[in-house]
């Protein structure tokens, strides 16, 4: 059965609201579909519980939202993003900073530098960011959930 865009938005809205309510949070949930990405944004005070330790809770909610939206089974694929209190932008900024620092260290000491374990989407973000540099290369090592990125100076 094909799921329409409106049905996806409804499913995601219901899921995120249920999680917010279950956590006892006072927050507003806004879900938008721009045709490529469905973004659920949670706004309110003290959303740390929703975000979770190192983003584990928000990542789990995003995974569930992707699954219930049927986005990975449809011909018309839509990316699903769940954000709260600007967490995704802050996390991206932190990862890019860590990647740049690690790349500089790899070049300074002429040796590979391993970053901490990350989710697949975080590793992709770092791979894509450092791809623009011609002085380092990246690859992933290890098995989930300890899979991490290694930055190596180019010869």
Phi and psi of 54, rounded to 5°? 55, 30
What is the count of structural domains for the chain? Answer: 2
Q: What pLDDT sits at residue 138?
A: 98
Is residue 47 located within the same domain as residue 117? no
Using the predicted structure, report yes or no on whether residue 75 has a pLDDT greater than 60: no
> Is 1's pLDDT higher than 90?
no
Q: Which of 85, 115, 19 is CA-nearest to residue 11?
A: 19
Please work out, in degrees rounded to the nearest 5, the angle formed at the alpha carbon of residue 18 by the alpha carbons of 76 and 53. 90
Query: What distance in Å separates the CA atoms of residue 32 and residue 84, rounded to the nearest whole number?
Result: 14
CATH number for the domain including 105? 3.30.1370.50
Model confidence pLDDT, tens digit, residues 2-59: 666 689 999 999 999 999 999 999 999 999 999 899 999 999 999 999 999 989 999 9
Rounded to whole angstroms, how far apart are CA atoms 63 and 79? 11
Domain boundary among 85, 101, 134: 85
Domain of 41 in residue numbering reads as 5-85
% the chain with pLDDT above 70: 93
Residue 70's pLDDT is what? 76
Residues 58, 33: Cα–Cα separation, whole Å: 19
Q: 0.85 cut: is pTM over it?
A: no
């Amino acid at each position: 059965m094909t799921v329409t865009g409106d049905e996806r938005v409804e499913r995601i809205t219901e899921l995120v609201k249920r999680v917010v309510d279950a956590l006892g949070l006072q927050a507003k949930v806004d879900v938008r579909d721009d045709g490529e990405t469905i973004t659920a944004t949670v706004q309110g005070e003290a959303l740390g519980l929703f975000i979770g330790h190192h983003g584990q809770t928000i990542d789990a909610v995003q995974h569930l939202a992707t699954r219930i939206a049927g986005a990975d089974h449809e011909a018309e694929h839509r990316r699903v993003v769940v954000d709260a209190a600007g967490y995704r932008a802050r996390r991206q900024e932190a990862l890019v900073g860590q990647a740049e620092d690690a790349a500089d260290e790899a070049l300074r000491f002429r040796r590979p530098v391993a970053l901490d374990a990350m989710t697949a989407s975080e590793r992709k973000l770092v791979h894509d960011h450092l791809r623009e540099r011609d002085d380092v290369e990246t690859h992933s090592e290890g098995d989930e959930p300890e899979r991490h990125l290694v930055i190596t100076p180019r010869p």
